[in-house]
Chain A
Amino acid sequence: MRGPSPCLSSRDGGTRAPARTGEKTEDDVRTKKLVASCAVLAAMLLGSGQGRAQSQAKSPTLDTIRQRGQLVCGVDTGIPGYAYQDASGNWQGLDVAYCRAIAAAALGDAGKVKFIGTTSKERFSVLQSGEIDVLIRDSELTLLRNTQLRFEFPAINFYTGQTFMVRKSLGVQHTADLNGATICLLTGTTLETNIADYSRAHNIKINTLLFDRPEEAFAAAESGRCDGYTDDGGSVAAARSTMKKPDDWMFLPETISRQPLGSFVRQGDDAWTNIVRWTHSAMLEAEILGITKDNIDQIKQSSSDPQVKKFLGLEGDLGKGLGLDNDFAYRIIKSQGNYAEVYDATFGSHGLGLPRGQNNLYSNGGLMYPLSWY
């Protein structure tokens, strides 16, 4: 059995009904009431950790978000590039742009996001418990997190790997020369294991100092308590930007791990996973099609390219299959821009000055390869 049958039938009726006719029939009112009470029921089920797999296109997570009128997105507590609050308290960063893009797609308004800053320790627990709808928090995709924590990774939005930053005055050129050095890093991550593996493989000893929060780790690195700092490439660039004299620090060329970072959702809600996956894909597709935040309205009016027309929802029914309307991709790009624009503003030339490297489109020698839309 899958719960009370009026719920299911009314929800099915909801999808079949034509979009907003404007008239309110008695049936509509009854349906609305049912939908509301079912949504509350669903929310209660989810809240008590009892959400279950639904095989239809309907997504309990999406229903909850619509009912709430807000996407709850788990991000980093504060790290330049990925997610941080600027001087006026607004969230900025690559991960933040993804949260807003999902809200634009799912709710039609990129502003309807509640950001929850999560530490590396608690991030997965809050997602598992249903406190957040999606986790986009410079988190690495691993087998353990897939199988033991039961998460799905719809999209990789940043390819990086663990790198080291050291003081130039140290005179070290390569990671293998770090024998005896002390490195500051954040605890509760895969970084510790990577260093231990690397040290054993190269028969050297790298001492580590494990911090709970980036602020103290940066302070310790700044004061010279440790010889270097390690994290994924993007975070090291962010750390360097917070140093008093960034020029005193240099990146070591080696990358000792592969770290694909991306968005996490709970397993069991495939329709919601799809929405998160195609939001990312829309940002890449727009870059390939040459659509930007600024030219999108002009292209929408003038373009005769069928691919562009389908992408922007002028033709075809691409959005329906996701449980969204057809111009969801338009809203994503209109509010956030394509991937290149977002990267540029956060990590690229208008942000931390990190070359795009692996995060380039495949056609420019990178790893970003959008899925096919048509």
Chain B
Amino acid sequence: MVRRPSARARAGQWLLLAAVLGVAVFLGGNAAANLARRHMTFGFGFLFYPSNFDIPFHLIPWSTADTYGHALLVSTLNTLLVSAMGIVASTLLGLLVGLMRLSTNWLVRNVALAYVELVRNTPQLVQIIFWYVAVLQTLPSPRQSFRLPAGMLLNIRGLYVPDAVFGPHGPTLAWIALALLIATPFAWRLRLGARRIGPYALTLLPVAAAVLVAGVDRLEWPVLRGFNIAGGTAVPPELVALWAGLSIYASGFIAEIVRAAILAVHKGQREAALSLGLKPGRVMVLIVLPQALRIMVPPLTSQYLNLIKSSSLGAAIAYPELFEIFAGTVLNQSGKEIETIVIVMGFFLVINLITSALMNLYNRRIALIGT
């Protein structure tokens, strides 16, 4: 029979795979039979039906006459927006707190410790609702808005920033600006004759900005009209509260990852750098952090993935992200329970797999070569 351990292990794996597939087929068949018995159909045609509900915050145009498919796009962009903002903020905050944890100053060290413990040991949903209620309680009504510089208004309905209205050539110029932005890192690597372009490529950025500004026809200032502020673009408090809730929670874990990674860098490295006469700050930036980064990236990836998944908690505070809009409103209005949940799960899976792939790519680039 099967004597060799390797062959036995392989046979076991095939058996396991067969069992998993068998269970999947059984569950699928069961679901299909139950759907048929209830005269429910399975299909994604409903994505083309008109949706007939409002999404309060959207990055791309949205009206109640648009389709469920468009609602999927709008809510996915909202999820991506808050996730991206959360990843950037939690990384910066986590790095800061992680460094503070290693400070030689007693106060700094222990403030960071208290922060980490408080943030790590309370439920994330509670934190998000706390930030939401806290944000709402402190802000004034639209009629008593705080006036900020550059014509911005801050009140309980959100932060209102002046809106740039594009002229007739605006969209074309905006695309050119975007192309310049994308071209910058490539230009960095090009050579002009024998000389590398390098940092000179950065001159493309102000050019891009100038092109963008050239397309702007006029600025629309936010003003009070009726109940609300009219004109301008609003950053709703839901987005700010969810952003704060996600970033602060994740920063507690990231701070510990940063601290552990720094401590894992061999002591000799630091001593060698100090003995060369480098100042402690330079030692950290030039010697310790680059090496710690290699240790940090894999656990950091998990934190980012967690943060993206937790963005679905935004449903609690009326942030219109993928889960709330699609697994809530669309599910209820279309009656397509299995399909909407499958779509939401699929979208989160794809977003997270892409994030994970990018992080792995980065990890490979910074890894030690030849080890």
Contact = CB atoms under 8 A, between A and B. Distances in A.
A179 interface: yes
B238 A128 contact: no
A207 B227 CA distance: 11
B136 A219 contact: yes
Interface stretch (B92-100, B115-123, B313-321, B352-360): B313-321
Contact of B329 (A182, A192, A199, A206): A192
Contacts of B129: 216
A150 to B, nearest CB: 5
B56 A120 contact: no
Contact of B318 (A148, A179, A216): A216
Nearest to A210: B318
Interface string B299-334: 000000000000000011110100011011101110
Nearest to A179: B226
B297 to A, nearest CB: 34
Given A121-B328, A182-B157, A212-B324, A207 B133 contact: no
Contact of B56 (A144, A197, A207): A207
B136 A223 contact: yes
Interface string B212-239: 0000000000000111101000000110
B40 interface: yes
A220 B136 contact: yes
Given A121-B331, A209-B318, A211-B317, A196 B52 contact: yes
Interface stretch (A66-74, A183-191, A338-346): A183-191
A290 interface: no
A211 B333 contact: no
Interface string A60-83: 000000000000000000000000
A285 interface: no
Contacts of A104: none
B53 interface: yes
A124 to B, nearest CB: 8
Residue from A125, A170, A212, A213 whose CB has the most chain B CB atoms within 10 Å: A212
B64 A199 contact: yes
Nearest to B332: A188
B371 interface: no
A213 B328 CA distance: 12
Nearest to A213: B316
A210 B64 CA distance: 15
B332 A220 contact: no
A170 B238 contact: no
A188 B329 contact: yes
Nearest to B237: A225
Interface string B16-45: 000000000000001000100111100000
A192 B53 contact: yes
Please list the 7 inter-chain residue pairs (A to B) with the smallest Cβ-Cβ separation, ordered nearest first: A192-B53, A223-B136, A196-B64, A188-B332, A209-B318, A187-B328, A212-B315
Interface of A: 48-50, 120-121, 125, 128, 144, 148-150, 170, 179-182, 184, 187-189, 192-193, 195-197, 199-200, 206-213, 216-217, 219-220, 223-225, 227
